[in-house]
């Protein structure tokens, strides 16, 4: 009796102690996350995608409204359908306005929640407390996380990450005690995750991998409804796959919506040869592994060798793709060979391979070879492999605990330092693009983006220089033609600007900026040889179709251009009506300077005078 009493007391003390340790580790994870990423609350937004996603999007900056919520579900947003992400941006604008630091705060907060949930989830699934803590710590502060956390436009990563963890947690509860309600919770959370970022379409595969290990469902499924009382290995697998069909249906629907939303970005890459896409995908799989081990020289944009480079010598060598394929095949063979005894190898490796599949570039979207943000959830599988393998290999070590604690401390400290350093490059757009150019080569996208930023700061000569560098690398970069044309226009080299805007439209016929700017020159140039009122009207009408929502400032500016085109063709009544519409929109948007300019334009038209822009003429001969 006395022994039983002592055991009972030990058990009673053990539970609060374990809870205290869990709370302490959770607090540690929160602390290291904020030590690395807390500085972002002092950062401004960046020029790449942040304006498109938030700060120049009228549906977002108006805050949380019924109209905005309906828009989020009915329309794609920046080429993506992720209504919950859009709504989260609206909520930030409702609460904080356009203060970038507050938007950054939300990103860091969501990432922190995901980190703690990952720790609790792995602890619950595996029972391995300290291994779970280490996996969560590496996930929290690895330098590859910086892009997802420090970039406001990547809200979709951290928000979908939270729903990913919640879905896995709900699934573990369902597995421990199956019920229709619990399965419904899994499906609902998964749907919310897909509406945050469609990359989660492979989550049903992750659930099957968790069934294999650590949930051990392929061997431990209870024989419910079986008269014989047993399940064959094959029937267990079939049952577990059938169990995922409703979730796979959600993935299929999300995939179709995503392909439709991204059809323009996908179609722009259709000319890429399949071999080039496969080669880049293989190399990217290996590059992500290397960056996990050696996370330096990270960049916002890694040029795609089959898109960005016009010169053959820049393209991906076939031996690199062959080497990557051999490496991946070798690792897979090792995993399969040892996976029966060490099941975590199977789960971790195919977690990594499978979760990256939607963004690995077989279906190419955008001009990047790969992106740090794509590793946000997939690399958890690799962290799992490394952590459990080291723990197993070190079982017989003398002073094992001391060595592992010291090694973990060194790794975490090193990753924190590297991540904090990487985060400093996001302190402003110029630093970000300058760093990207410093650590990559032949990066036409970065040159064009930096040129755009510099032109907005009236650093015209520098903007022209970077635009020209971009076009040396890739003559078919429409953005570079646009930025070069704008720089040339502002330098008084209007004829050259027109040439580059026309070239931009040959490459990208739906280019709104080139259409609008060309229309302005054709409608308002004092040089009669440059004017073409009919063409100005045609281009302005096309530009309006691509300008987005009627509340968009771009629409107001293009309507002003259309009015000028009408005036150039002598259609003054239409010019007045169009300019009045634009003026009302400008007042509604709070853009009083533009509204007053439009009133001045209207006075011109009422006197039967077309508009002339003294800047729209060559000043160099």
What's the confidence (pLDDT) of residue 225? 36
Average pLDDT over residues 507-536: 95
What's the confidence (pLDDT) of residue 79? 79
Output the 3-class SS for 38-67. Answer: HHHHHCCCCCCCHHHHHHCCHHHHCCCCHH
What's the confidence (pLDDT) of residue 16? 79
| 568-608 tens-digit pLDDT | 999 999 999 999 999 999 988 888 999 999 999 999 999 99
**Residue-range domain boundaries for the chain:** 25-424, 430-606
| 142-189 tens-digit pLDDT | 999 999 999 999 999 999 999 999 999 999 999 999 999 999 999 999
Q: Say how far apart CA 342 and CA 335 lie, in whole Å.
A: 9
Architecture of domain 430-606: Alpha Horseshoe (1.25)
Q: Say how far apart CA 401 and CA 133 lie, in whole Å.
A: 15
| 3-class state of residue 77 by DSSP | strand
Please provide the average confidence, as pLDDT, over all residues in the chain. Answer: 91
Rg from Cα positions in the chain: 28
Nearest Cα neighbor of 588 from 566, 555, 611, 564 is 555
- In this structure, the dihedral spanned by the alpha carbons of residues 534, 537, 543 and 544, taken in order and rounded to 10 degrees, is -160
User: 8 pLDDT exceeds 60?
Assistant: no
Output the 3-class SS for 596-619. Answer: HHHHHHHHHHHCCCCCCCCCCCCC
């Amino acid at each position: 009796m006395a022994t039983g009493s002592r055991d009972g007391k030990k058990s009673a003390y053990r539970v609060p102690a374990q809870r205290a340790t869990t709370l302490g580790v959770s607090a540690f994870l929160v602390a290291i996350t904020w030590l690395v990423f807390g500085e972002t609350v002092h950062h401004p937004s960046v020029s790449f995608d942040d304006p498109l996603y938030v700060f120049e999007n009228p549906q977002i900056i108006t805050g949380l409204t019924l109209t905005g919520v309906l828009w989020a579900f009915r329309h794609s947003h920046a080429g993506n359908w992720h209504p919950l992400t859009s709504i989260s941006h609206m909520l930030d604008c409702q609460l904080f306005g356009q203060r970038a630091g507050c938007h950054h705060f939300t990103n860091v907060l969501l990432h922190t929640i995901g980190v703690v949930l990952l720790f609790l989830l792995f602890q619950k699934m595996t029972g391995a407390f300290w291994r779970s803590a280490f996996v969560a710590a590496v996930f929290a502060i690895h330098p590859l996380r910086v892009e997802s956390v420090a970039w406001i436009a990547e809200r979709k990563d951290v928000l979908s990450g939270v729903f990913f963890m919640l879905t896995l947690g709900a699934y573990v509860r369902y597995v421990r005690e199956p019920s229709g309600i619990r399965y419904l919770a899994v499906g609902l959370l998964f749907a919310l995750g897909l509406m945050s970022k469609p990359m989660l379409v492979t989550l049903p595969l992750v659930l099957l991998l968790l069934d294999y290990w650590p949930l051990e469902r392929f061997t431990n499924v209870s024989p419910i409804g079986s008269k014989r009382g047993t399940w064959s290995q094959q029937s267990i697998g079939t049952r577990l796959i059938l169990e995922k069909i409703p979730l796979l249906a959600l993935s299929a629907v999300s995939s179709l919506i995503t392909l439709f939303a991204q059809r323009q970005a996908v179609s722009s890459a259709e000319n890429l040869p399949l071999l080039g896409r496969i080669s880049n995908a293989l190399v990217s799989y290996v590059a992500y592994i290397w960056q996990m081990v050696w996370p330096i020289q990270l960049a916002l944009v890694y040029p795609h060798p089959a898109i960005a480079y016009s010169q053959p010598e820049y393209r991906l060598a076939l031996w690199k793709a062959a080497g990557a394929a051999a490496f991946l095949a070798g690792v897979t063979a090792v995993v399969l060979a040892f996976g029966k005894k060490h099941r975590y190898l199977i789960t971790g490796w195919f977690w990594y391979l499978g979760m990256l599949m939607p963004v690995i570039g077989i279906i190419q979207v955008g001009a990047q070879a790969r992106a740090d943000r794509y590793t946000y959830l997939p690399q958890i599988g690799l962290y799992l492999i490394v952590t459990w393998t080291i723990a197993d290999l070190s079982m017989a070590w003398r002073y094992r605990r001391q060595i592992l604690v010291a090694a973990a401390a060194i790794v975490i400290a090193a990753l924190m330092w590297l991540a904090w350093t990487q985060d400093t490059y996001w302190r402003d757009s110029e630093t970000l693009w300058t760093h990207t150019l410093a650590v990559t080569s032949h990066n036409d996208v970065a040159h064009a983006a930096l040129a755009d930023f510099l032109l907005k700061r009236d650093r015209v000569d520098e903007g022209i220089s970077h635009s020209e560098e971009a076009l040396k690398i890739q003559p078919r970069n429409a953005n570079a033609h646009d930025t070069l044309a704008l720089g040339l226009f502002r330098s008084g080299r209007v004829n050259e600007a027109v040439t580059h805007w026309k070239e931009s439209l040959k490459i990208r016929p739906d280019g709104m900026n080139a259409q609008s700017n060309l229309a302005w020159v054709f409608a308002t140039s004092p040089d009669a040889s440059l004017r073409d009122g009919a063409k100005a009207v045609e281009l302005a009408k096309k530009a309006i179709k691509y300008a987005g929502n009627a509340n968009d400032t771009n629409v107001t500016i293009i309507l002003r251009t259309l009015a000028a085109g009408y005036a150039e063709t002598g259609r003054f009544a239409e010019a007045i009506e169009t300019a009045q519409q634009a003026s009302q929109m400008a007042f509604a948007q709070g853009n009083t300077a533009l509204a007053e300019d439009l009133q001045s334009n209207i006075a011109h038209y009422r006197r039967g005078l077309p508009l002339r822009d003294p800047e729209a003429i060559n000043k160099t001969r």
